[in-house]
């Protein structure tokens, strides 16, 4: 299967997760209002950090070791299930004990119960990483797709049903319940049993990737935690949660490419091939999609947040504009860090991300008490661009410069669309989708006139559609 086709499938899977997560965020924000949504946002951010720390790195490591030794695949995964169960239980107990301290740091005693509700996620995510990595390693991608669908649907259903009857506590309970539903399918589909096998090499492989992913996710949450801790106002946390959820939609879609970049770049460098051509092509498509989407969100932040949430969330519009621009830097920085990790220096990416977390905490500590939500968004923007500048240096040494005159033309077209959008008076927020459609068409027309988006690109996109669908419907 081609790299492009892999990218398409992975982005499609990421879109399904993004869609369910977006609907949960927008729906809960509407249903509960800013104050309770602020509490939910903080707990949801903690749950996301737990997920990213425990799942992607271990899943990739398990997939690699299982794929390289199919004969021992069941033994490897079964042994990891045993060890991961113990790891998850230990981390869950430690977290449960530390919840009171975490609540004090966040200046929210009411968060203690909500944070304790998600403690089972440590066990669930630890085990799910093994199951997911095993199925990927043996090539059972269909089972992974079903698991993803179960998780997305159960999260949607349980979140709204439980939130309707039990308010924010119900919405939080839905997080471990939906994760357990997906885990149950994993266990049924894999039929794995506990066994004994040497697993230390798997943990050595997984640790730097898990550390990097965890630090990046923590970096994206420092601003929200600072708003809650320093301003002690759940409504303000709710506004900021709304701004973050909307601004980072392009990030979550496009960073799915990192799952493909990592093995491809690593393979090319290991075989002494030139990875720069592949990286340059990948980044070109990222920039083509990233710049206009982030600029449009920045230009239309007020009607957009009022459309997705409610009119009372208009206070999130200015932070949303700043955060959407910082998303450009954060997305590119993350993908550069993936390239650096793939080149054999995962600890460099993790170390740079860790330094950025500290810098973000310091800037938020200084700016949030003075400038409130705008201060948090500016702190995130500054750190994101610093992150991009630093990690670009490391990536440049390994694969060269992925940008060229192509990026200048994309920036020019994006700025034209941005300035047009800024000057539109949105008297009716429901007209926003039509405006987006018109501006997107204008954007691609500009690229076509500048010969930046060519027939080859259309053929490339067309090739991503499975051949069976092309024969039947196209």
Q: What percent of the chain has pLDDT over 90?
A: 60
**Percentage helix, strand, coil, to 5, in the chain?**
85, 0, 15
- For residues 213 and 350, the answer to whether their CB atoms sit within 8 Å is no
User: pLDDT (tens digit, 9 = 90+) per residue, 57-92?
Assistant: 898 888 888 877 777 778 888 899 999 999 999 999
Closest C-alpha to 227, from 239, 214, 245: 239
Query: Would you state the pLDDT for residue 306?
Result: 95
pLDDT at 378 over 80: yes
Residue 116 binned pLDDT confidence (cut-offs 50, 70, 90): very high
pLDDT at 203 over 50: yes
Structure-block tokens of residue 152: 């997305």
Closest C-alpha to 278, from 334, 335, 209, 331: 335
- For residues 281 and 289, the answer to whether their CB atoms sit within 8 Å is no
Q: Which of residues 26 and 279 earns the better pLDDT score?
A: 26
User: pLDDT (tens digit, 9 = 90+) per residue, 298-312?
Assistant: 999 999 999 999 999
Lowest-confidence segment of 13-17, 129-133, 339-343, 460-464 by average pLDDT? 460-464
pTM for this one?
0.91
């Amino acid at each position: 299967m081609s790299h492009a086709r892999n990218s398409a499938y992975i982005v499609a899977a990421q879109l399904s997760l993004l869609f369910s997560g977006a609907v949960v965020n927008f729906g809960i924000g509407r249903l509960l209002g800013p104050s309770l949504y602020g509490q939910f946002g903080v707990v949801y951010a903690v749950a996301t950090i737990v997920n990213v720390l425990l799942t992607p790195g271990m899943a990739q490591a398990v997939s690699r070791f299982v794929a390289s030794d199919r004969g021992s695949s069941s033994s490897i995964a079964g042994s990891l299930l045993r060890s991961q169960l113990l790891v998850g239980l230990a981390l869950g107990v430690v977290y449960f004990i530390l919840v009171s301290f975490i609540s004090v740091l966040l200046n929210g005693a009411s968060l203690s119960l909500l944070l304790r509700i998600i403690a089972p996620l440590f066990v669930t995510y630890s085990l799910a990483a093994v199951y997911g990595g095993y199925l990927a390693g043996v090539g059972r991608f269909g089972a992974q797709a079903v698991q993803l669908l179960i998780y997305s649907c159960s999260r949607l259903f349980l979140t709204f049903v439980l939130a309707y009857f039990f308010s924010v506590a119900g919405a939080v309970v839905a997080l471990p319940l939906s994760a357990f539903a997906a885990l149950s399918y994993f266990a049924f589909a894999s039929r794995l049993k506990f066994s004994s096998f040497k697993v230390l090499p798997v943990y050595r492989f997984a640790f730097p990737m898990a550390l990097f992913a965890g630090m990046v996710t923590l970096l994206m949450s420092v601003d929200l935690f600072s708003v809650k801790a320093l301003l002690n106002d759940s409504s303000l946390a709710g506004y900021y949660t709304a701004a973050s959820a909307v601004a980072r939609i392009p990030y979550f879609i496009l960073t799915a490419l990192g799952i493909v970049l990592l093995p491809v770049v690593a393979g090319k460098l290991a075989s002494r091939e030139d990875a720069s051509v592949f990286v340059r092509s990948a980044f070109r498509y990222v920039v083509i999609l990233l710049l206009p989407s982030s600029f449009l969100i920045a230009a239309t932040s007020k009607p957009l947040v009022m459309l997705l949430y409610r009119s009372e969330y208009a206070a999130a519009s200015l932070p949303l504009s700043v955060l959407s621009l910082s998303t450009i830097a954060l997305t590119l920085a993350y993908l550069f860090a993936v390239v650096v990790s793939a080149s054999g220096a995962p600890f460099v990416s993790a170390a740079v991300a860790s330094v950025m977390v500290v810098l973000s905490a310091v800037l938020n500590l200084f700016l949030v008490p003075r400038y409130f939500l705008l201060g948090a968004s500016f702190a995130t923007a500054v750190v994101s661009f610093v992150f991009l500048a630093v990690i670009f240096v490391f990536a440049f040494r390994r694969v060269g410069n992925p940008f060229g005159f192509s990026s200048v033309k994309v920036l020019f077209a994006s700025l034209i669309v941005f300035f047009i959008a800024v000057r539109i008076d949105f008297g009716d927020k429901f007209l926003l989708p039509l405006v987006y459609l018109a501006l997107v068409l204008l954007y691609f027309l500009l690229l076509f006139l500048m010969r930046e988006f060519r027939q080859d690109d259309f053929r490339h996109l067309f090739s991503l559609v499975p051949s069976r669908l092309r024969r039947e419907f196209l």
